[in-house]
Structure 1
Amino acid sequence: MSLQRANNLSWCLINCFRRNSYYTVKKALELGVNDGNKDPDICIKGWVKNLQNHKGVMFMHVNDGTASQHLQVIVPQPLASTVDATFGSCVEVKGVLKESLGKGQHVELISSSVEVIGPCDPFEFPIKQRARHSPQYTRDYLHLRPKSNIFSALLRIRNVASMAVHSFFQDNGFMFIHTPILVTNDCEGACEVFKVEPLFTGASNSSGGDSDSEENDDSRGPQCVSDSIGTPAPSSQKEHFFGQPVFLTVSGQLHLEVMTGALTKVYNFGPCFRAENSHGSFHLSEFYMVEAELAFINHLNDLLTVSFSLHVLETYLVKKIPKANCSQFFFSLSSLTNSYLQYSQWGCDLDKEHEMYLADAVGGRPVFVTDYPASLKPFYALRNEDCQTV
């Protein structure tokens, strides 16, 4: 392709984008009335979050998920009588931003045209206008849950927090590593794992190569559905899909430790799966975890400094994160009369009650526990000079 043709193509793409471009609700709210808006006519697309009619004028709150605040759209007469928008419908609105005289917003959009590009029946729509739906209720409508104010706010917070984690590690010279989801180990035996096996017993990848034979295709084809559903997973190692037992990862730590032998500073931010028999809020079967590994660390304080400087914590913690010596902690427990704490002794692992006690003792903040019993840690954990703690 010649340079002239490439330039012409780029110009066509730019013009096409301009013709089809529109403002997000977040950008419209940030734009204001006279904040450099050379084109007074703007176009927004989103979903109707609230709708009411007052003296022939239609008031709509429109949001596209980019902001927590809705943009108020005013549909004057005679346009209001022709608009067939309802709560939950998807609309495209064109109009002019004006300073709002009402409370709760500084700008509003005076519409010149409203097009319903996705109708919605408010009677059949499970999410109702001006109703507070509990998480238990929206859980029955997973495909509609992001439309609720609470869940959409959680997704925006999660997005900001995730980007902050990546920004911190990237700015400090860490390399992001995609550790595998399917693994053959349980990462130091820290918890129960989910075993992965194919649904159909005929499925097998133990041959280690691709095969085009009809026999292989038939064993994994749709005709096996009626005969294989509910069949127990194969127990013989030769019948495993990967030739050996495979599990969902519980941690990417082991893979990161290997990477530090060549890349020095690495981190991972990915999903973990743990088959713990718990139905409370302390343990989840699936969650995302931040893990980092560094080479050439000479002292524990080097690691604590990196952990504390994570600006996601710095934003909310004014004081420095305290440290608790594990040996001193167990010595202090011996003088307590609390029934759920007095039976602990040196060499035992910390229970959830111990962790909560430590957090309460420092004012409900995170706490670093040092000098942990070496017998409870992996073989490669650096021993202290007493050879009893790490």
Structure 2
Amino acid sequence: VMEDLFKTATSTVFSKCPRDVELFHKYVSPAQKDRLEQTLKNKFVTISYNEAVEILKQASQTFTFKPEWGCDLQTEHEKYLVKHCGEVPVFVINYPYDLKPFYMRDNEDGPQNTVAAVDLLVPGIGELCGGSLREERLPFLESRLQRLGLADAYQWYLDLRKFGSVPHGGFGMGFERYLQYILGVDNIKDVIPFPRFPHSCLL
């Protein structure tokens, strides 16, 4: 679904706003048009979090943040993984259980317990989308919230599952990051639709 959303949205932007896109591709990032056309043609790569950590550990590059199993992937790691996989977008799936929020579905996969989570990484940006399957099983949610000491605060959430739920999931795509990627803009501040400058937002 994420891959289809990205490809459909990008094809639509190209067909509906060709002059705007061409302006950026001509003056800001001349090589971006060819890269995007390749992205639209190629299938995205899928790797597990475990594979991602192994790739990073074997990298010849020195990272500011040392890659270890159980640690979150930093932007430098995400960009390296995309480069390693041939500069095409990469899905990283099945993150460590302790790294992600309580509502993500437990994969019940043994000692290195993981959840059914996914991040979509794109060239030059890093993470574009993030999402997961949601934990629909009440006993799993109750147990996890009790361990975290959050059972009282999230009683309302448990009530949503009390009488059963269907397996479901969700994800979000960063709008500014999406614009950065398709237009080839380096700084995220340059694609925020609301201009920011000193004294423009008095609180």
Shorter-chain TM-score range: 0.3 to 0.5
Q: Which has the higher helix share?
A: 2
Structure in which a larger fraction of residues adopt strand: 1
* TM-score scaled by length of structure 1: 0.20
| Bigger-Rg structure (1/2) | 1
TM-score (normalised: structure 2): 0.38
